[in-house]
Chains A and B, each alone.
Chain A
């Protein structure tokens, strides 16, 4: 049985799109967020206002604390899903060269500087001379001798899986400009003479020039722009072509509805026809698979590609290993992130590719307490149904202010198997986190004392120190531990006796256990209240106020706590 690590996921306020879109930067979305009025009455509340961590939608808004960002202005959690991203830098992950966004438009989203991935194992490919073929294990002293006299032809080779480009018949005349050479070999006129793969076996390859995606696209584009010119001779688009800015602004005015006449023109246009010949970019599907079948029969399973290999190819449709081409590295980006509501930047990386630091990064765990979960007693591998277990939840306050925490959970967990949940101390205060390292010693001493006390306590009471309702279990300089008691539900599926069922009640769901349905997850509503410095945004507007003005702040959010798996007895 795999071990289970308890976890906490926090819900971003963007789960409810209405709150994020309607709130302005002044109001706080969390205040509109649903909250159970009390742990016990929550069942009677509107069910749709109760947070169910198992609902399919919840998947998209639940994140570990480390993933969450924080908007200082909105005073709210922001997650990777809802932030607005902007490209800062575009670069190749292999050669780390920055690519300008203008060349991205002309040359595509792949590195054009001879950076290639192995089509078999996605390892990096190196350019090697076929003549010397240096061994990777060769010592550098020896390598230097051979490197002085490099001679073509050159190949791309993978030092991991030993694939090389000569397997698909690709050899290069010079070691520079591999991208262009490869492009020429693949799409150029001389592709037949150079790229002769298995000659007799692949008749589908003979018309490969016209079949390449790029060639077809350009043929199709010229065909359809000609058709467009015939259809709309008076619209003026034909004169400019689609790439001119004038045409673009015309199109925009058409879509914005200012130009009512254009609609009439469109309907009046003569009939256009669709592409129907190879010169127009049309390709009929080749239904004759006999050559593929005979190749499969001859070369067997090993000559075919696997799904991942076919997917990572630049052009689709590869079925045999010899149709796999080196993959130019996909470019990557560094992005800055903006708050979706107030548009302030909340994360901005250094623009230099090699610099991994951030100029600015507001993360949620500087505001939200972290929650760690520990079983009260040494953990059993699986939770026993209907046997109460206690867990220690430790809240650690990252703020430099005292924080009041209020917790609420539904009395039973949502879903088919309702486990009972009781938070023994749903309200408590957390002391502020201190800045200096001084307290660490203090805290360590305190921890030591506590250990001794704990041992003593255990000694006197015979190892049964009871958790009390309404009382904090343990407290440190900026953390508080409370006890949560859980009665796991039984996972047995039995239809309730027909007598007990009310008229019109839906049929109980007796389908077998679904994936992870045996995981006991507690939805928990956390509400934080504290007095903090007035945020910068309001400071600037209210200049008359004193610098050290304090204001009451609050934050409320749902989180889900995964405790463990219930045994299926």
Chain B
């Protein structure tokens, strides 16, 4: 995780190093102080918002963010996998990046490890969550704050992970409403966050 002094040590170095190859939609909002690094391509779909100090690292694989996603502060996409599960070390895929589906929200401090990790459409990844390398979140999942998904795990659609890993199904059936709300929120964020995509291109 990035402590404040660590961030500062990285920031000045960024312009000097080679820029990560990017492929931005023209309608995205990306803050000036977002951190993009790595050698693989970083794709960001239309109308997605990347908050300041979000960290996108494509060193281990390509990062793809869908449409109308919100990536909050100090999230880390494509982080190096922490460790392989002892039971099956082969599950750890050091190659492969991160795919974030449309309408997903990654809240403050969430970590998505690299290695073919997928966050499905409409997922809400809560504050400080960690998604292990190669895990696959289905559509419209909700991870409550500080939840952890083990590497290689597959989480079915509409799962709510809460209370130290307890799971249940989200049966609210408000997918459409959530999409509308997400669109409205992005409208507001667009006005609030000064975007500077050219810095990264």
Contact = CB atoms under 8 A, between A and B. Distances in A.
B86 to A, nearest CB: 20
A160 interface: yes
A161 interface: yes
A98 interface: no
Given A133-B178, A138-B184, A162-B172, 6 more contacts: A121-B163, A132-B177, A134-B181, A135-B185, A138-B185, A142-B184
A412 interface: no
Contacts of B185: 135, 137-139, 142
A531 interface: no
A121 B162 contact: yes
B168 A161 contact: yes
Interface in A120-168: 120-121, 132-135, 137-139, 141-142, 157, 160-164, 166-167
B168 A302 contact: yes
Interface in B159-201: 160, 162-163, 168-172, 174, 177-178, 181-182, 184-185, 187-188
A138 B180 CA distance: 11
A138 B182 CA distance: 8
Contact of B160 (A132, A139, A141, A161): A161
A142 B188 CA distance: 8
A133 B174 contact: yes
Interface in B20-69: none
B145 to A, nearest CB: 9
Contacts of A160: 144, 162
Contact of A164 (B124, B144, B172): B172
Contact of B163 (A135, A138, A139, A161): A161
A133 to B, nearest CB: 4
Nearest to B192: A139
B177 A302 contact: no
A155 to B, nearest CB: 9
B188 A139 contact: yes
Interface of A: 120-121, 132-135, 137-139, 141-142, 157, 160-164, 166-167, 302
A211 to B, nearest CB: 26
A137 B181 CA distance: 9
B29 to A, nearest CB: 14
B178 A167 contact: no
A149 to B, nearest CB: 14
Interface string B106-150: 010000000000000000100000000000000000101000000
Given A132-B177, A137-B105, A157-B172, A162 B188 contact: no
Contacts of A166: 172
A320 to B, nearest CB: 13
Contacts of B171: 167
Nearest to B173: A166
A135 B182 contact: yes
SS of B interface (majority): mixed
Interface string B73-114: 000000000000000000000000000000001010000000
Given A138-B184, A161-B163, A133 B169 contact: no
Contacts of A134: 181
A132 B181 CA distance: 9
Contacts of B105: 137
Closest 5 CB pairs of A and B: A135-B181, A133-B177, A161-B162, A162-B170, A133-B174
28 contacts: A120-B168, A132-B177, A133-B177, A135-B178, A137-B105, A137-B124, A137-B181, A137-B185, A138-B185, A139-B185, A139-B188, A142-B184, A142-B185, A142-B187, A160-B144, A160-B162, A161-B160, A161-B162, A161-B163, A162-B160, A162-B168, A162-B172, A163-B168, A164-B172, A166-B172, A167-B171, A302-B168, A302-B169
B41 to A, nearest CB: 29
A568 to B, nearest CB: 27
Nearest to A133: B177
A157 B177 CA distance: 15
Contacts of A132: 177
Given A121-B163, A157-B172, A302-B169, A162 B142 contact: yes
A138 B187 CA distance: 11
Nearest to B184: A142
A139 B182 CA distance: 10
B100 to A, nearest CB: 16
B25 to A, nearest CB: 22
A470 to B, nearest CB: 53
Contacts of A120: 168
Nearest to B145: A160
Contacts of A135: 177-178, 181-182, 185
Contacts of A139: 185, 188
A139 B188 CA distance: 8
Most chain A CB atoms below 10 A, which of B172, B177, B188: B172
A164 B174 CA distance: 11
A160 B144 CA distance: 7
A291 B98 CA distance: 46
A163 B178 CA distance: 15
A134 B184 CA distance: 11
Contacts of B182: 135
